[in-house]
């Protein structure tokens, strides 16, 4: 009986890990706000003052579907566009803001993130 329970526990852990359910924390690099492009610095300032934002989709919920940020309940993260000179539309750069006033920067449309240190 104990062997059967061990097998079930290991199987449950393996399935949970493969689905990303066992990940409670994610390692994210840090970047200084002053080292970001000036457009990203402006976006953080706009977020802190509550807008106005230049794009209609600024402030929408960021789902974190790829689980590249620490796992939180849906609605915890909001995304904002960082203007990219020379591109049409919104470009790939974003700031993602958490409810606890943490900020993350992505220059590659959510493939990687750096947590912003002020």
- Per-residue pLDDT tens for 18-33? 444 444 577 889 999 9
- Per-residue pLDDT tens for 68-116? 999 999 999 999 999 999 998 999 999 999 999 999 999 999 999 999 9
**Options 24, 39, 66, 79, the catalytic residue:** 79
**Options 24, 39, 101, 109, the catalytic residue:** 109
Cβ neighbour number for residue 112 with a 10 Å cutoff: 13
The verdict on pTM exceeding 0.85 is no
CATH, domain range 27-117: 3.10.450.30
Is 109 an active-site residue?
yes
**Exposed, middle or buried, 103 (CB in 10 Å: 0-12/13-18/19+)?**
buried
Is 79 an active-site residue?
yes
């Amino acid at each position: 009986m104990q062997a059967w329970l061990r097998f079930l526990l290991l199987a449950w852990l393996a399935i949970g890990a493969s689905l990303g359910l066992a990940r409670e924390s994610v390692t994210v690099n840090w970047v200084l706000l002053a080292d970001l492009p000036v457009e990203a610095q402006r976006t953080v300032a706009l977020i802190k003052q509550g807008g106005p934002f230049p794009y209609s989709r600024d402030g929408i919920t960021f789902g974190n579907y790829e689980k590249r940020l620490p796992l939180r309940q849906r609605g915890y993260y909001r995304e904002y566009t960082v203007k990219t000179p020379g591109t049409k539309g919104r470009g790939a750069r974003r700031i993602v803001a958490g409810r606890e006033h943490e900020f993350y920067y992505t220059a590659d449309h959510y493939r990687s993130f750096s947590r912003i240190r002020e």
